[in-house]
Structures are given as C-alpha cells and as structure tokens.
Amino acid sequence: MSPIISQQIELELGNIGALTISPDGRRLYVGRHSSEDQTRENIAVFTIDPESGALSNKRLYRDSDQPLPLTYTTSKPSLRPRAVVTSLLVAPRYRKLYIGTRLEDTAIRPAYLLSIYDLDDAGEILPETLRSYRAIADNLPNPIGIQCMAMHPQRDMLYMAGGAWNAVRFYQLNAQGEPLGTAPTAVTINGNPKTSIAISPDGSRMYLGTAPATLQIVALVEGVPQNPPLRSLQVPELALADAYLRFVHTPQA
C-alpha cells in the first residue's frame, strides 16, 4: 500500500514536534518543535472540516505555566534557551490534554516538563486551567525530558519515557486525571533510552521502542512495568547503531 498525500498545509508554526487528533476527529493539536518565544505559545489547535479535512481557525496556547529562562544556566551564554514540545496525548475519559516537553537548558530544576489542560465537551482547550508538573525527580542528572507518553486503558496511570534515559516514569492519577505526588515513579528497563511507548488494550503489556531498532515487550503488574523485558525484538532492516524504533500500536495489528 502506498500512501496518498491529499494536501500539504503550511501551518506557520516552524518545525512540528508533536501532534494528535481529538477522538471525534474535529480538532488537530500541534506542538512546536523548538521555540524561544517568551510567551511559550507553542501549542496550536485547528478546527478540522469533517468533509474535506481542511484546517482552519488556528488558536495558540502556552505549553507550560513556567517562564522560559532568559539565559542558560550552563555554558551557552550567547544562546537563548528554547522550549521543545515532544509529545501530546488526549485523554477523553478525563477530558484533558497532556503535554510533554523538554528544555534545551537541561540543567534547570525543578523540571516542570509535564503540562495539562482541561478540555470542554467539544475538545476545546480551557486556557485558564493550565498547570505544570515535575517530569523527573530533582536529583536526577541531565539531559532528561519527555519524548513519549501513554495512558493505561483501565487504571488511572500516565506513563512517560525518553530524554536519553532508559527508565519508564509514571504518575498515579486521581479520578479527574490529575497526577498524585510531587514527582513520578521511575522504573529502569534494561537496554538503551526509550523513544516510543504503547500499552496493550488489556493493560497487561507495555511496548517500548529503543535502539538499535528494538521493540521491547514489558509485563505490567498492577500497572507497574517489570524489568527485565519479556522479549526484545530487533528489526534487522533498521539495526543501525543510532536507529531508535518509533511506532504506533493498533489494537488489531
């Protein structure tokens, strides 16, 4: 099967770091890949025409309630720090948009790299509800951000991975989808840093993409990832030293 490109659209956002569509297919959420804009308006929402698929009515929102530092804390005095949106996740059961980010200045602590918006019944962002949370404990070394996220299908748990670290992090959530605690729990999974994550529909397995072009299958016990992985499968055609597997899990794959 060869993909057919029906249209190409200039969104006027620069490079795109993440995107996702609302469950009803009527909204497209987009995150800028890299921006030094001090307003941090790096999340765009577009209305999707249900017939043509055309995008319209761009709205901009902040990616964090934290200010973007004016200068680096490390050895780059000539550069301005940038914010990078790396992952977007819509959770219909909580009516929330979860935003994963990283900062090019990786020494900043606390690292409030997870942000959440409430959504209205139509999936529109409620801008006054923005709040940000730690994505790592303060004592961890840099560089660490969020590269991918997934939600447990039955339990109130949000998983995060990426940022040059081979651990999977997770927050227990309350019934409204809000993180419990001040920092996520981290479970180290053997192998290289993780770049892609998905959970099986029955909630018993976690799938992780890593290098070299490797898919790891991890058991979940009460939602907690178990190390070592059950299996590690390599894709020979992609098995280069720097080939990190990125994938999407579909229920009928």
- Residues 72-115: pLDDT tens digits? 776 666 677 889 999 999 999 999 999 999 887 777 778 888 99
At CA 84, angle to CA 81 and CA 85, rounded to 5?
155
pTM of the entire structure? 0.90
pLDDT(143) > 70: no
| Contact yes or no for 98/157 (Cβ under 8 A) | no
For 2-41, give one letter per residue: b (16+ CB within 10 A) or e: eeeeeeeeeeebeeebbebebeeeebbbbbbbebeeeebe
Section 41-51 average pLDDT: 95
Q: Domain spanning 16-74+81-188: which CATH class is it, in words? A: mainly beta
Domain boundaries, the chain: 16-74+81-188
Section 197-209 average pLDDT: 95
**pLDDT value for 253:** 46
